[in-house]
Amino acid sequence: MLMRKSGTLAGVMELTLFLRMARTGFGMMTALPYHRRLMTNAPIAINHNSGGSGLTSSFRLQSSTTSSFVPPDPPASKGTSVFSDVDLNMAPTADAEGRNGDEDAVFVVTGANRGIGFEMVKALACRTKGRIVACCRKPAEFSLDDSLFPSSRVTVMELDLERQETIDSLKDRIEEELGTDRVDGLFNVAGILGDGKTTPGPERSLAMLNRSWIDKTMAINVIGPVMLVQALAPMMKRSRKDTSTPRSIVVNVSARVGSISDNGLGGWYSYRFSKSALNQATRTMAHELKRQGTYAIAVHPGTTETDLSRPFHSNVKKGSLFPPEFTVKQILDIIDCMNATHTGGLYDWSGKAIPF
C-alpha cells in the first residue's frame, strides 16, 4: 500500500504498479482473449444471509473505466525473490478453467461490502459460473442499488475476523445455506490500515505505537485470515489420486510494504509487520496445503482507490491510483495463470514476484 517519504506521506515510493502495455496489450481490452476481459453489464444475483434475513437483491455491473487505465511500470525490488514471476500472457491453466467453469464451485470473499472485496464479488460473478459467498461484518450494509433479479449465485454471510466464533461457524453456514461441503477459492481481502488521524496507525514512529491498535491490526490482517484458512481448508481438499478435480486456491491480499528487503523507508509499523507475518503464513501454509491440492499465494494489489487508501490519495501521483476493477482483474489473472511453482509466493499486481 502507500509508503511514507522522509517522514511524511509524500508520494508513493513503492507502489506495486504493473503491466507494461507492450507486454500485455492491456490498453486494448477487446483484443484480449475472452477469459482475460472483465465483462460488464452482466446480471448478478445477491442473496443476503446473516442467519435468516431472507433479503434478496441483485445488481448489474456498470461500464468500467478499466479499459482506459494505463498503469505505471511496477517498481524494481531491492532483494531477490525465490519465486519466478507469473506470466499473465499465458492461457489459463486447466485448474483455472475447471474452477471458473464449474457451476458447483464455491468462492469465499472477505471484506466483501466495499473496495477490492466488493469488486471481487462482482468480477467472480461474471468470470466464473460458481457461487460466491460474500463475507462482511454487517451483512445488512451489503447494499446494491440496481434492478432486482431472482437468483442466488451470491450469498452474503456475516464474518468478523476479530470474533473467532464467526470464523468457526462459517464452514457450517456454507454447508447449510449452499448445501455443499466444498470451497474452491478463498479470497482473504479484508484488512486494516488506519488514517493516522482518528486511529493510532499507520504509525510513523515508535512513539506512536499503541498496543490495542497493534492487537487489532494483527487480528484483522493476520490472525483472522489464517484462522479462516484453517476453518475452510477441509472443504478445499481433494484426494491425491483425484487428478480431474481442479486445485483450490487461497489468495491472501498482502502489501509490498510487508517485504523486509524492500523496506528502505521505515514507518507504518503495525501494518508492515502484520503483512510480513501474513506473507510468512502464506509461505508456510502453502507447503502443507499443496499436499491436499490447494495452492496459496499472497498478492500486493497496488494502491487502489478504496476506503483503506482514501486518507492518502492526495499523496498519490497522477495515474498511480488503481481503479478497483483493474486491481481485481489483475489478481484474477494471476491465479488463472499460476502453477505449482508459484504457490507460497508474494506477487505484485503484474504477476512479478516480490522478495520477502
| pLDDT surpasses 80 at 61 | no
pLDDT of residue 231: 98
On whether the CB atoms of residues 225 and 278 are closer than 8 A, the answer is yes
What CATH code would you report for 21-348? 3.40.50.720
Domain ranges of the chain: 21-348
Outline where DSSP puts E strands in the chain.
43-48, 56-60, 106-109, 131-136, 154-158, 185-188, 248-253, 294-300, 346-348
Q: Which residue has the higher pLDDT, 308 or 166?
A: 166
Radius of gyration of the chain (CA): 19
At 349 the pLDDT is: 96
Longest CA–CA span in the chain (Å) reads 55
What is the pLDDT, as a whole number, of residue 86?
Answer: 98
- Average pLDDT value for residue range 44-68: 45
pLDDT for position 48? 55
Task: Give dist(CA 17, CA 349) in Å, integer.
Answer: 7
For the stretch 193-244, pLDDT in tens is 999 899 999 999 999 999 999 999 999 999 999 999 999 999 999 987 888 8
Per-residue model confidence (pLDDT) at position 320 = 74
Residue 295 in grid coordinates: 495452492
- The pLDDT of residue 5 is 35
Confidence of residue 183 (pLDDT cuts 50, 70, 90): very high
